Chain A
Amino acid sequence: MTRWSENLVGALALIAPVCAFTKPIAFANGTTVMLEYGAGTMWEAQIFYAPQYNYSVGGGHVEFDSDITPETVRITYARLNYLLHRWNLESAQANVFVWGGAGAATGNTFSGTELTGNAGAQADYETRRVYASLKTDLQKANAFNIRVDTLQLGIAPYKHDYNQIATWFVVQARQYTDDIHHGTEVAALLRLFKGGAWIEAGITNGGKLQAMAMFNF
């Protein structure tokens, strides 16, 4: 990751206001912008527009910077997100999302630009006090095969209502393939959201910053 991009994402994560779990689709005719700084090994920016409540289209840019090898990969991609199923319960909601796309990658372990494929899925469950989310995201090309698996468990100290600030304490466990990071990276996060703005930030077991900002409008 370049120093300017690291500084930009770090600064945005600190100044932006931080919600239960991120969703690639907000609501019909809604736009979602997401920025994530992943403890020095990954950062990602995404923008999606949802013509309907069950799918969104857009794209993103992700950079991986291995903390084991000198490998650096930068991928810019277009993607379609699809809400496979939603369960709207009286006091809970659960979702299954899938996505797929294609892009172009550059890196320091291969020459030129490589065509990439992207695929992923997310399952989540949320009440006003607890939530759980499991996500897997694969970026594949001839030169690399990077999959990021993320588990999040959250608890809210109080039940927020509409127009109130929501507070969540979140534990995140993440694994990378392709020697981006060795073992499971665990982070303790504080998540805050109100209106269309969401920010979360915390520290990993390696002492690094993990942060995300998301905006719906």
Chain B
Amino acid sequence: MTPHRILLIAFLSLVPMMLRAATIEMHVNGLVCAFCAQGIEKKLRKFPATADVVVSLEQHLVAVALKDGEDIPDTELRKALTNAGYTVTAIERSDTSIEAIRSRLGQQKP
């Protein structure tokens, strides 16, 4: 195998990781009380792939920052939110950083 081919294979093997989302944004119904919503953060932080969690009652939003190259399946996310007592209406993945989401929501890192 030529060095060029080895480099090409190595590069191609990295592409899926590079394409993975940085964050997962979930739209959640019933999110009205911060005291009761703690279960969401507690559950989501237990995933090994979770780097950070942001919750917004105003936007009915729960965002999870993912560790590099990792992901959490939608079924696991829905299960976690259901076990916290809430209903997930949509799940979206994006490359938006958690800091950008915090900034958009007007929140500061605790």
Chain A interfacial positions (CB closer than 8 Å to B): 19-20, 23, 25-30, 52-54, 83, 86-93, 126-128, 159-164, 166, 193-196, 198, 214, 216
Contact A23 B36 (CB under 8 A): yes
Q: Which residue of A lies closest to B41 (CB)?
A: A162
Given known A159-B57, A161-B58, contact A53–B85 (CB-CB < 8 A): yes
Report chain B residues within 8 Å CB of A216: 35-36, 38-39
Which one, A27, A52, A83, A161, contacts B38 given CB within 8 A? A27
Given known A28-B83, A28-B84, contact A198–B60 (CB-CB < 8 A): no
Q: Which residue of B lies closest to A162 (CB)?
A: B55
Contact B85 A163 (CB under 8 A): no
C-alpha gap A91/B87 in the complex (Å):
12
Report chain B residues within 8 Å CB of A28: 39, 43, 83-85
In B76-92, the 8 Å CB interface with A consists of: 82-87
- Interface flags, B49-92, vs A, CB<8A=1, else 0: 00000011110100000000000000000000011111100000
Contact B34 A30 (CB under 8 A): no
Which one, A20, A30, A89, contacts B39 given CB within 8 A? A30
Which one, B28, B42, B55, contacts A30 given CB within 8 A? B42
Can you sample 11 A-B contacts with CB below 8 Å?
A: A23-B36, A53-B82, A88-B85, A93-B32, A128-B57, A160-B57, A163-B34, A193-B34, A194-B34, A194-B35, A214-B35
C-alpha gap A198/B107 in the complex (Å):
22
Report chain A residues within 8 Å CB of B29: 88-90
Which one, B34, B37, B40, B85, contacts A86 given CB within 8 A? B85
Which one, B32, B39, B40, contacts A128 given CB within 8 A? B32
Report chain A residues within 8 Å CB of B40: 27
Contact A166 B34 (CB under 8 A): yes
Q: A91-B32, A162-B107, A193-B34 are in contact. List 18 more A-B contacts (CB 8 A).
A: A20-B32, A20-B33, A26-B39, A28-B43, A28-B84, A53-B39, A86-B85, A88-B30, A91-B60, A126-B32, A159-B58, A160-B57, A162-B34, A164-B34, A166-B34, A194-B34, A195-B38, A198-B35
